[in-house]
Amino acid sequence: MSLLVYRLSILLFRVAVLFAAPFNAKAKLALHGRKGLLKQIKKQLHDDNASKVWFHCASLGEFEQGRPIIERFKREFPEFKILITFFSPSGYEIRKDYELADFVFYLPWDTKKNAAEFIRLLRPDIAIFVKYEFWYHYLKTLKKNNIPILSVSSIFRANQIYFKPIGKFNLNILRLITHFFVQNRASEILLKEYNINNVEIAGDTRFDRVAEIVTHARELPAVEKFKGSTKVMVIGSCWPEDLEVLMSFINESPLKFIVAPHEINGKSQKIIEKDCMKKTILYSELLNVKGDEDVLIIDYIGLLSCLYGYGEYAYVGGAFGAGLHNILEAATYGIPIFFGNKNYKKFNEATDLINLGGAVAFNDETELREQFIAFDDDMALQIAGQVNRDYVKDNTGATDKIINYCKKILQ
């Protein structure tokens, strides 16, 4: 790829969003959110001379990964204003009112003109890019203005474009970064093979985030009433593909189930309401809970990390489709975790917990039943739970390393 091809790809993507907007909700939000965006940014940042840190997150998942750093940065540098940008509507629309941020915007399209104007208006003292997304013009402009650029919780694999013969331009984008805080040793080795030596293993900030969940978890009395004295499996971020495998198990198991679809009021909820043979109740109706319901369907955003605390078991969705969702939120509560075996291997924590005995990947309903029997015992349940709890505890500390580096360069 060359600079010309890169610019052309940005242009083609913008055209695709424009044509998709009338038919696709996300495209429509992305288009509308960037209309007159730089004028809005100029209006909000006009004559604001405070020190600023810029966090960029591709979407909601990256925001949650960067959240421990944002929170610590706010405590350690209270004089700094925090600006967060998102590329995706799924991040911006949910976190546009985030209480710790002074400014939240969509990221303007990565053109030379946009990047120059954005950096001129913002004048950040430091820029922190979470995990993925390395935008050439923004990084080039930051570098030109001697603004430190950190890449945090990043992870690299040999099959990525940066390390392919056609990826020389993309590899040079990485060379614009001031310092990398990578998740694992393999990423460090890979970067250093290409003479990118400004790299340090910090680990995954998600461990820091989930380690705090237990101490700050909201109490949900209505969920406690629903649970009663029965063991519960919490099914988190499930898709229709997950329910195809799970529904028979749900209908025949003596457990109660708390089901949080990945998309609220979407296809998954309709499948549960149609195919579930047990009595169901929506979270929005829990004030009317009678105690004889067996399946609680979550139709509310932002509860999943608390809900795992009410389970003896967890199933985390996504691995039968595009990719496994966050299993660490369940692991921090010390409960065994189940997930599909189709698409999980790129998630280190999934492989680690399988090897340690705290998680199980299965292919179909028959395997799920067989694997579940191994945990249908209080001692086995306790051991697997402790494995998961210890795994989270042993992998915390990434945020400390990143904040200490910020202190060094900002002072």
| Nearest-5° Cα angle at 86, 2 to 72 | 115
Length of the chain: 411
* Tokens describing residue 98: 């985030």
| Nearest-5° Cα angle at 193, 187 to 197 | 75
What contacts 5, CB < 8 A, 6 or more positions away? 169
Helices (H), 160-204: 168-174, 185-193
pLDDT, position 410: 92
- Enter the pTM of the model: 0.81
pLDDT, position 359: 96
pLDDT, position 301: 82
Contact, 376 vs 324, CB < 8 A?
Answer: no
pLDDT, position 273: 86
With H, G, I as helix, E, B as strand and everything else as coil, classify residue 178. coil
pLDDT, position 270: 85
As annotated, the residues of the chain forming the CATH 3.40.50.11720 domain(s) are 33-204+396-410
* Tokens describing residue 184: 């694992």
Cα distance from N-terminal residue to C-terminal residue, the chain: 38
Domain topology for 33-204+396-410:
Rossmann fold (3.40.50)
pLDDT, position 54: 98
pLDDT, position 213: 83
pLDDT, position 102: 95
Amino acid at 366: T
Report the alpha-carbon distance of residue 390 to residue 385 in Å, rounded.
Answer: 9
pLDDT, position 302: 82
As annotated, the residues of the chain forming the CATH 3.40.50.2000 domain(s) are 218-394
Pick the CATH number of 218-394 from 3.30.700.30, 3.40.50.2000, 3.30.43.10, 3.50.50.60: 3.40.50.2000
DSSP letter (8 states) at residue 165: G
* Tokens describing residue 311: 């389970």
Q: What is the pLDDT along the chain (411 residues), one digit of tens a residue?
A: 689 999 999 999 999 999 998 999 899 999 999 999 999 999 999 888 899 999 999 998 899 899 999 999 999 999 999 999 999 998 999 899 999 999 999 999 999 999 999 999 999 999 999 998 999 999 999 999 999 999 999 999 999 999 999 999 999 999 999 999 999 999 999 999 999 999 999 999 999 989 988 888 888 998 999 999 999 999 999 999 999 999 999 999 999 999 999 888 778 888 888 899 999 999 988 877 777 889 999 998 888 989 999 999 999 999 999 899 999 999 999 999 999 999 998 888 999 999 999 999 999 999 999 999 988 888 999 999 999 999 999 999 999 999 999 999 998
Amino acid at 164: K
Contact, 37 vs 106, CB < 8 A?
Answer: yes
